[in-house]
Amino acid sequence: MPVYQLNVNGKKTPVEVAADTPLLWVLRDHLRLLGTKFGCGIGQCGACTVHYNGVAVRSCTMPVSSVRDAEIVTIEGLSANASHPVQQAWDEADVPQCGYCQAGQIMTAVAFLKKTPNPSKEQVETAMNGNLCRCGAYHRIREAVLLAASKK
Amino acid sequence: MPTYTNTRRDFLRKISLTGGGLMLGFKWYSARAEMPVLLNAADPVVAPVFNSYLSIAADGTIHIFSPNPELGQNIMTSFAQIVAEELEADWQKVVVSQAPLDTNKYERQLTGGSGAIPHSWMRLRKAGASARYLLLQAAAQKWGVDEASCTAQSGFIVHKPSGKKLSYGELALDAAKIELPKDVPLKDRKDFTLIGKPIRNVKNADIIRGNPIFGLDYYREGMVYAVVQRPPFGMKIKSIDGAAAKAMPGVTDVLQFQQNVAIVGKSTWEILKAKKALKVSYEKDGNVESTADHEALFAQLMKSDKPTVHRKDGDVDAAFESAAKVIQSEYQCPFLPHNPLEPMNFFAHVRPDGVELVGPTQTPQRAREAVSKLLGIPESKITVDITRLGGGFGRRLKFDYVLEAAELSSLIKQPVKVIWTREDEITGGSYRPAVRYRFEAALDASGNLVGYKLRGVGINAGNSTRQDNFPAGAVPNLRVETVEHVSPITTGAWRAPITNFLAFAEQTFLDEVAMAAGKDPVAFRLELLDKARKSPVGKITYNIERFDTVIRQVAEKANWGKASKGISQGFSVYFSHASYVAQVCDVVMKDGKPSIQKIHAVSDCGQVINMSGALHQVRGAIVDGYGHAMFGKLSFKEGQAEQQNFHNYRLIRMREIPEVDASFVDNGKDPTGLGEPALPPTGGAVANAIFKATGQRLKRQPFMDEPLFKSMASEAE
């Protein structure tokens, strides 16, 4: 099996897996970075969202062979001590119910706010629409993204 | 490398750390609110009678072990708040952990029925108050002063005249030696500083960091992964060709157990890939059903002359014969999968000396009983650790996936983690049952509701009605009955079982009846309640005044009858589990289509424990109720679900949510639960508002399949 030199959370990490292995399962099964979640496996729910050179992508549909030397950042690598303003806003707005989708929500929000630092409510809704929250915590997710924007 | 931390070993370690401190046991769930009793701190784990632990370590840390599964209802925070309130603890020093299954120490370790808070409320308060009392005694004795001159404040006992103070950590050891009196004073609710306040989820820190706290995150060195191919409903295995799958990289086993075929291997992706190469053919083994056939089935069940009658008041037939006006209406809903975002999964290690089970379950006790029965191993040799649940919605009250893990581990003699995919979740069973209801109402010449008939026909629904539901009690002649069809399509509890759709049907029908009687829907409900108050008929299970109050409050808050131009309103109210929720939905027309703008909700769940969590439950339940009424659809063809994943099974997303204006009745009553109650009324409020706006009655879910919404649904896709 091929060996891939991945750049995950600022660390060069070799992994030996089949070329079609989705980044999600490399992170979870091989690197034990378990914050990135499996929800649907077809890029529809957003629970597996990570950053690929700063862009939010669905790791469940991204084969490891296409990652190359891109900078991958997962929820674990977002900040030291949950100090990122989006993580702080998530706590302040008390967003989580079950919490399972929240890493993906946070990763989507961080990438979005980088591009759109002062979003409108409608822009937030459009940006976050791809991330499912089965508990229906959407009101607070929206509130937290707007709160994080106001903190910067 | 991060590892899963919430293990039995960790639990025991935390317990033993508290040795030397103050440790109280109390029953979280028993029917009687017994007093907590001091435990032997040196050997707390084997204390035989007492059920959970509140412990105070020498450094002042308050450990609270939460026995029942956490799935987002935020019970870990609410339970701890109640204890800490009465204890006068410093909230910053409270640490909450999930306790493993332990039937010697806990009762009813279960998440379901919106029941945990109502059951535990007094017990938790007494536990906190008892500890406070002991700490206060210990300080007073130490200082040689009158206990009346001491107060408990934020983790300290303070001697008011001298200003001396000692921390709970410093007092814990002495407090543990004092005998507990029969009764201790509880705080007056006007002095509450934690209960009723918005307190952030105690597990936020783990969640925003992505810490591995869920079942799917659990990992054990040496374990293998397994995925399972299950048969369509009503079919059994005819033949298996597993050779190609077995030959694939990373696959260690392909094996049949029951009517399932498992692919076992070293990593998740490798077994998912191999599952696609597995060839299993099936043959008929009973009814093989399709949704298309269920239409005719429902019609036939509606005609059945052998219904089960659940309630009968007065003479219904006579009332209908002499009625001035009769209204009849039918409502229908499809099966629904639960779709918690964390798929089903469980870890099992069946060893010669016992069984270890770890994972997300709403019912660890029943899961263990079932594993014991399946494997013929006594329950005393089976341990269950409860991870955080990535949602439940009733799905994890079933333990089929726990049995799969246990059976597989026993067959392959290895620790194994069974993982369901999203496709498995949607196609693999245990659904909200599909049901049709027929309502009939008889009105007299003055528009009084004098007769009421409800027949529920359901597929594996059990009793698909709740026969004592309002307006029972307010109608002199009433009959509620059901007819049941038994099907191979498996069903189970789905958040607010039965009432998640029944409430929609009842509240929409009452709207229809109000219109037919020429009455305002809110006034019509109040009039019926007044009849129940003045001339009650038969058994009344709801509290008329609490019902009345939520109706009046939501009408006032939503400006019922006086809404701004362009806003059409619909009303709904429900007594669910033990709480009361009334809703008004605001709809506006946009480009000729109804758009759901806002839902006003007034809930009476008695004392709110955590205002942040309570708002979350109400908003989430409304989003859940509206989303599934609008989009939720599962259909079958020859025993197989026709939807497989989120590309063709639609869940509500952020752009589709209504605004929610939620408030609570502050009546000082004991708490009555809030995990489910705000969901049932939502569909009815929405449908009644849409009727007001368009003149069209929505009688079937999902609404998106109704002519009114067909075009909207296709636009969104």
Beta carbons within 8 Å of B231's beta carbon, 6+ residues apart: B237, B259, B260, B280, B282, B285
Amino acid letter for position B573: V
DSSP characters over B571-609:
EEEEEETTEEEEEEEEEEEETTEEEEEEEEEEEE-SS-S
Beta carbons within 8 Å of B107's beta carbon, 6+ residues apart: B27, B28, B29, B30, B51
Tokens 């809110």 sit on residue: B522
**Chain A residues closer than 8 Å to B217 by CB:** 34
Q: Smallest CA–CA separation between B120 and chain A, in Å?
A: 21
Contact B619 A141 (CB under 8 A): no
Phi, psi dihedrals of residue B337, rounded to the nearest 5°: -80, 160
pLDDT of res. B184: 87
Contact A97 B73 (CB under 8 A): yes
Q: Smallest CA–CA separation between A71 and chain B, in Å?
A: 19
pLDDT of res. B24: 63
Which of B180-184, B412-416, B636-640 bottoms out in mean pLDDT, i.e. has the lowest?
A: B180-184
Phi, psi dihedrals of residue B398, rounded to the nearest 5°: -85, 150
Q: Is the pTM of this model over 0.80?
A: yes
Handedness of CA B521, B523, B529, B534 (dihedral sign): negative
If one compares A52 and B37, the residue with the highest pLDDT of the two is: A52
Q: List the single residue in B210, B422, B654 with the smallest CB-CB distance to A141.
A: B654
Task: Name the closest residue on chain B to residue A28, using Cα atoms.
Answer: B217
Q: Are residues B526 and B625 in the same domain?
A: yes
Provide the number of CB pairs (under 8 Å) joining chain A to chain B: 191
Distance CA B176, CA B172 (A): 6
Q: Are residues B411 and B558 in the same domain?
A: no
pLDDT of res. B564: 94
Task: Name the closest residue on chain A to residue B647, using Cα atoms.
Answer: A44
Amino acid letter for position B578: A
B267 in contact with A at a CB cutoff of 8 Å? yes
pLDDT of res. B565: 94
Stretch B222-245: mean pLDDT: 98
Q: Are residues B582 and B499 in the same domain?
A: yes
Going by C-alpha positions, the residue among B196, B204, B203 that lies closest to residue B611 is: B196
Q: Could you tell me which residues are beta bridge partners of residue A72?
A: A8, A52
pLDDT band at residue B99 using 50, 70 and 90 as cut-offs: confident
Which of helix, strand or coil describes residue B642? coil
Q: Are residues B632 and B699 in the same domain?
A: yes
**Chain A residues closer than 8 Å to B421 by CB:** 41
**Chain B residues closer than 8 Å to A91 by CB:** 200, 204-205, 208
Task: Give the CA-trace dihedral at B374, B380, B382, B386, to 10 degrees.
Answer: 120
Q: Are residues B684 and B629 in the same domain?
A: yes
Residue A138 CB-density burial (10 A; 0-12 exposed, 13-18 middle, 19+ buried): buried
**Chain B residues closer than 8 Å to A139 by CB:** 619, 623, 657, 659-660
**Chain B residues closer than 8 Å to A129 by CB:** 653-655
B432 in contact with A at a CB cutoff of 8 Å? no
Contact A41 B203 (CB under 8 A): no
pLDDT of res. B21: 63
Tokens 């609410």 sit on residue: B78
- Give tens-digit pLDDT for B464-479: 999 999 999 999 999 9
Contact B74 A97 (CB under 8 A): yes
Mutate to test the interface with B, among A94, A110, A146 (most CBs of B within 10 A): A94
Residue B591, Cβ neighbours under 10 Å: how many?
A: 6
Within-domain flag for B48: yes
pLDDT of res. B27: 47
Q: Are residues B524 and B638 in the same domain?
A: yes
Strand-strand pairing, B224-229 and B416-419? parallel
Within-domain flag for B242: yes
pLDDT of res. B22: 65
Q: Smallest CA–CA separation between A77 and chain B, in Å?
A: 9
B657 in contact with A at a CB cutoff of 8 Å? yes
On whether the CB atoms of residues B89 and B61 are closer than 8 A, the answer is no
Which of helix, strand or coil describes residue B569? strand
Q: What is the ipTM of this complex?
A: 0.99
**Boundary residue ending a domain (B375, B394, B419):** B419
Q: List the single residue in A25, A75, A94 with the smallest CB-CB distance to B204.
A: A94
Q: Are residues B456 and B358 in the same domain?
A: no
Residue B121 CB-density burial (10 A; 0-12 exposed, 13-18 middle, 19+ buried): buried
Contact A129 B212 (CB under 8 A): no
Within-domain flag for B299: no
Q: List the single residue in A18, A44, A141 with the smallest CB-CB distance to B646.
A: A44
Question: H-helix or E-strand containing B120?
Answer: helix B116-143
Q: What is the mean pLDDT of chain A?
A: 97
Distance CA B325, CA B222 (A): 72
- Give tens-digit pLDDT for B283-294: 999 899 999 999
Contact A98 B390 (CB under 8 A): yes
Q: Are residues B234 and B125 in the same domain?
A: no
Q: Are residues B242 and B107 in the same domain?
A: no
Within-domain flag for B207: no
Question: H-helix or E-strand containing B354?
Answer: strand B354-359
Cis ω before B471 (30° cut-off from 0)? yes
Domains in chain A: ranges and CATH: 3-77 (3.10.20.30), 80-151 (1.10.150.120)
B388 in contact with A at a CB cutoff of 8 Å? yes
pLDDT of res. B113: 86
| Strand segments (E) across B591-672 | 593-604, 636-637, 640-641, 659-664
Contact B391 A76 (CB under 8 A): no
Mutate to test the interface with A, among B208, B214, B661, B717 (most CBs of A within 10 A): B208
- Give tens-digit pLDDT for B315-366: 999 999 999 999 999 999 999 999 999 999 999 999 999 999 999 999 999 9
Within-domain flag for B336: no
Number of domains in chain B: 3
Q: Are residues B195 and B219 in the same domain?
A: no
Beta carbons within 8 Å of B221's beta carbon, 6+ residues apart: none
Q: Are residues B543 and B590 in the same domain?
A: yes
First CA to last CA distance, chain B: 42
- Is residue B163 over pLDDT 80? yes
- Give tens-digit pLDDT for B678-691: 999 999 999 999 99
Percent of chain B residues past pLDDT 70, beyond the cut: 92
On whether the CB atoms of residues B368 and B101 are closer than 8 A, the answer is yes
Within-domain flag for B425: no
Tokens 């809930």 sit on residue: B603
Q: What is the DSSP letter of B279?
A: E
pLDDT band at residue A90 using 50, 70 and 90 as cut-offs: very high
- Is residue B5 over pLDDT 70? no
Q: List the single residue in B204, B214, B267 with the smallest CB-CB distance to A91.
A: B204
pLDDT of res. B172: 87
Residue B491, Cβ neighbours under 10 Å: how many?
A: 22
**Boundary residue ending a domain (B378, B399, B419):** B419
pLDDT band at residue B644 using 50, 70 and 90 as cut-offs: very high
Beta carbons within 8 Å of B714's beta carbon, 6+ residues apart: none
- Give tens-digit pLDDT for B103-160: 877 777 888 888 889 988 988 898 889 889 989 999 999 999 999 999 999 999 999 9
Q: List the single residue in A39, A90, A97 with the smallest CB-CB distance to B620.
A: A97
**Boundary residue ending a domain (B362, B396, B419):** B419
Q: Could you tell me which residues are beta bridge partners of residue B221?
A: none
- Is residue A138 over pLDDT 70? yes
Within-domain flag for B298: no
Can you list the alpha helix ranges (DSSP code H) found in A23-84? 23-25
Within-domain flag for B206: no
- Is residue B8 over pLDDT 80? no
Which of helix, strand or coil describes residue B557? helix
Stretch B451-457: mean pLDDT: 98
- Is residue B4 over pLDDT 70? no
Domain that holds residue B389: 215-285+344-419
Q: Are residues B31 and B159 in the same domain?
A: yes
- Give tens-digit pLDDT for B481-520: 999 999 999 999 999 999 999 999 999 999 999 999 999 9
Q: What is the mean pLDDT of chain B?
A: 92
If one compares B372 and B710, the residue with the highest pLDDT of the two is: B372
Mutate to test the interface with A, among B76, B111, B341, B630 (most CBs of A within 10 A): B341
Angle between helical axes of B499-516 and B521-534 (0-180°, round to 10): 100
- Give tens-digit pLDDT for B25-72: 554 433 333 445 555 444 333 222 223 567 888 888 888 888 889 999
Mutate to test the interface with B, among A135, A146, A147 (most CBs of B within 10 A): A135
Residue B135, Cβ neighbours under 10 Å: how many?
A: 29
**Chain A residues closer than 8 Å to B659 by CB:** 139
Question: CATH no. for residue B505?
Answer: 3.30.365.10
pLDDT of res. B29: 39
- Is residue B188 over pLDDT 50? yes
